[in-house]
């Protein structure tokens, strides 16, 4: 297999490969397939999560281009912002975070705890921006910088998940403690870099699995269009074809909006915690887990299949949604 990632600068940040763990009690509770959890909540950078892999390539490029400052964007409780702050601290770069109020919450807990609390600890400068004019003004004030798009989802960022797809492929069948095949990969999807990279990485490695991209940010039509565009761009960057299939975008577990809790999400967060001792988050991995449970219960993921739940992290978000955590047993 050609090493399609070799030409790209990469700054090591993650504890990789992440574990691929069996989840037998979860599988039994769902009455369905063999389930494994890919623990990207354990990527090791400032409480982990999926952005670590993207940032290895994004920071690698920023350093290669000689930048001393990084700017990025996100919601007030952005995991991407927290991870970028940590990556910049590691790489000795100045980090500027432009955060927007994209979730219908304005309470003190939401605006001061969880990820945004850690951004400051990690040395980033946080600016809350309100609309395009505010953002333009902040960018002018900051001056020359490497601008990383929301979620780190440029083609360069998606390379992290091409690498992740190759990593999963190398784990399949490697020893008796690992699955001998994978039929589905279920993953939370917002800015689509994670799903795009996985689709390309798995296809390049010859793994015939379907990536079930569970929408948490925008409806399926909008998310699918973003995913297709990023697939094209990333495939072109690494010189591979875009596979015809290998993906399904679903918004059945999106609920009323980004960052708005749903009963299915809350149930899935508790199910993972109580069957496997695994902490999800209310905004991303919790909704993806609701998708996994829903697909199994609907028989879309068959009892004879092997499914990987790709845990993308985000657990600091639990602390700003206490109502999801506190429900009595």
Q: Is 67 in the site for ligand PLP (CB under 6 A)?
A: no
Token pair of 47 as six digits:
């409480």
**Which of the ranges 90-98, 188-196, 201-209, 300-308 carries the binding residues for ligand PLP, by CB under 6 A?**
188-196
Q: Is 191 in the site for ligand PLP (CB under 6 A)?
A: yes
Tell me which of 314, 316, 318, 324 binds ligand PLP, using CB under 6 A. 314
Q: Is 57 in the site for ligand PLP (CB under 6 A)?
A: no
Rounded to the nearest angstrom, the gap between the alpha carbon of residue 197 and the centroid of all alpha carbons in its chain is 11
Residue 166 CB, nearest approach to ligand PLP (Å): 17
Residue 41 CB, nearest approach to ligand PLP (Å): 8
Residue with tokens 């990527």: 43
Residue 265 CB, nearest approach to ligand PLP (Å): 13
**Which of the ranges 59-67, 85-93, 99-107, 311-319 carries the binding residues for ligand PLP, by CB under 6 A?**
311-319
Please tell me whether residue 128 adopts helix, strand or coil conformation: strand
Q: What angle do CA 301, 302, 305 make, to 5 degrees?
A: 90
Nearest residue (CB) to ligand PLP, 117 versus 178: 117
Interacting residues with ligand PLP between 245 and 284 (CB under 6 A) = 281, 284
Separation between Cα atoms, residue 31 and residue 33, nearest integer Å:
7
Does residue 102 have an active-site annotation?
no
101, 211, 183, 285: CA torsion to nearest 10: -10
Q: Is 194 in the site for ligand PLP (CB under 6 A)?
A: yes
Give me the residues paired with residue 146 across strands: 70
**Which of the ranges 61-69, 247-255, 265-273, 310-318 carries the binding residues for ligand PLP, by CB under 6 A?**
310-318
Tell me which of 148, 188, 207, 289 binds ligand PLP, using CB under 6 A. 188
Beta strands in 167-289 (DSSP E): 184-189, 210-215, 247-250
Closest CA to 164 of 205, 201, 203, 208: 201
**Eight-state DSSP code of residue 71:** E
Q: Is 151 in the site for ligand PLP (CB under 6 A)?
A: yes
Count of chain residues binding ligand PLP (CB under 6 A): 20
Q: Is 316 in the site for ligand PLP (CB under 6 A)?
A: no
Nearest residue (CB) to ligand PLP, 18 versus 50: 50
Interacting residues with ligand PLP between 110 and 129 (CB under 6 A) = none
**Which of the ranges 140-148, 187-195, 236-244, 269-277 carries the binding residues for ligand PLP, by CB under 6 A?**
187-195
Element (H, E) at 73: strand 69-75
- Residue 99 and residue 129 in contact, taking contact as beta carbons nearer than 8 Å: yes
Tell me which of 72, 312, 320, 324 binds ligand PLP, using CB under 6 A. 312
- Residue 280 and residue 315 in contact, taking contact as beta carbons nearer than 8 Å: yes
Closest CA to 159 of 309, 6, 38, 312: 6
Q: Is 39 in the site for ligand PLP (CB under 6 A)?
A: no
Q: Is 313 in the site for ligand PLP (CB under 6 A)?
A: yes
Q: Is 84 in the site for ligand PLP (CB under 6 A)?
A: no
- Which listed residue (78, 100, 154, 315) is catalytic? 78
Tell me which of 153, 171, 210, 234 binds ligand PLP, using CB under 6 A. 153
Residue 316 CB, nearest approach to ligand PLP (Å): 9
Please tell me whether residue 189 adopts helix, strand or coil conformation: strand
How many residues are there in the chain?
A: 329
**Eight-state DSSP code of residue 241:** P
Give the strand order in the sheet containing 247-250: 20-22, 34-39, 306-311, 184-189, 210-215, 247-250
Q: Which residues bind ligand PLP (CB under 6 A)?
A: 49-50, 79-80, 151, 153, 188-195, 281, 284-285, 312-314
Catalytic center residues: 78
């Amino acid at each position: 297999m050609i090493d399609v990632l070799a030409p790209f600068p990469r700054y090591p940040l993650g504890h990789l490969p992440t574990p691929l763990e069996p989840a037998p009690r979860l599988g039994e509770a769902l009455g369905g397939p063999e389930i494994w959890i890919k623990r990207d909540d354990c990527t090791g950078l400032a409480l982990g999560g999926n952005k670590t892999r993207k940032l290895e390539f994004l920071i690698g490029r920023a350093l290669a281009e000689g930048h001393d400052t990084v700017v990025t964007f996100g919601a007030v409780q952005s995991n991407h912002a927290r991870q970028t702050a940590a990556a910049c601290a590691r790489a000795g770069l100045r980090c500027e975070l432009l955060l927007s109020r994209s979730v219908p919450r304005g309470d003190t807990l939401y605006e001061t705890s969880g990820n945004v609390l850690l951004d400051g600890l990690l040395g980033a400068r946080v600016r809350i921006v309100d609309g395009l004019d505010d953002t333009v003004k902040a960018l002018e004030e900051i001056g020359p910088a490497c601008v990383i798009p929301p979620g780190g989802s440029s083609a360069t960022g998606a390379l992290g998940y091409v690498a992740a797809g190759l990593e999963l492929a190398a784990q399949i069948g490697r020893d008796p403690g690992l699955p001998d095949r994978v039929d589905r990969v279920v993953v939370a999807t917002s800015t689509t870099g994670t799903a795009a990279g996985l689709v390309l990485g798995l296809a390049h490695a010859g793994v015939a699995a379907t990536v079930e991209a569970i929408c948490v940010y925008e409806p399926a039509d909008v998310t699918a269009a973003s995913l297709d565009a990023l697939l094209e761009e990333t495939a072109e960057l690494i010189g591979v074809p875009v596979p015809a299939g290998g993906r399904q975008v679903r918004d059945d577990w999106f609920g009323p909006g980004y960052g708005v809790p749903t009963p299915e999400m809350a149930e899935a967060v508790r199910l993972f915690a109580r069957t496997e001792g695994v902490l999800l988050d209310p905004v991303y991995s919790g909704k993806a887990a609701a998708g996994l449970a829903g697909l199994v219960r609907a028989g879309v993921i068959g009892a004879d299949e092997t499914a990987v739940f790709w845990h993308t992290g985000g657990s600091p978000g639990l602390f700003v949604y206490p109502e999801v955590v506190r429900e009595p047993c």
